[in-house]
Amino acid sequence: AQSVTQPDIHITVSEGASLELRCNYSYGATPYLFWYVQSPGQGLQLLLKYFSGDTLVQGIKGFEAEFKRSQSSFNLRKPSVHWSDAAEYFCAVGANNAGNMLTFGGGTRLMVKP
């Protein structure tokens, strides 16, 4: 069965500082990996995805993520955080069959200090 672990429940960074959110997954084959962001009271917005090919993927809002098969990781990074990035971030793995089920990690809540 697939699973996703986000080891950090809360992270606080200063505005302008760099950010890295950790994600580890377990899946028997090549995974489909996603990062979503959720602002309070909102649904989930897709930041980026990895299917195959280049292991460094670029997303919206200046985010990027790197897929490392040897470490079963898909960490999200941003070089300079803005106050508007404060939100909850979810890593997810998708099954490579029909039915589209995403398995989510527990989420990391990001707080940004001015």
Partner 1 sequence: KAGVTQTPRYLIKTRGQQVTLSCSPISGHRSVSWYQQTPGQGLQFLFEYFSETQRNKGNFPGRFSGRQFSNSRSEMNVSTLELGDSALYLCASSLWGIGGDEQYFGPGTRLTVT
102 three-class SS = strand
Q: Is 75 exposed, middle or buried (0-12, 13-18, 19+ CB in 10 A)?
A: middle
**Residue range at the interface with partner 1 (CB under 8 A); choices 9-17, 61-69, 74-82, 92-100:** 92-100
In the complex with partner 1, the residue whose CB is nearer, 46 or 56, is: 46
**Residue range at the interface with partner 1 (CB under 8 A); choices 14-22, 32-40, 54-62, 73-81:** 32-40
> Torsion over CA of 97, 100, 58 and 60, rounded to 10 degrees?
170
In this structure, what token pair is assigned to residue 50? 């990895």
In the complex with partner 1, the residue whose CB is nearer, 12 or 45, is: 45
> What residues make contact with partner 1 under the rule CB under 8 A?
32, 34, 36, 41-46, 49, 51, 90, 92, 94-107
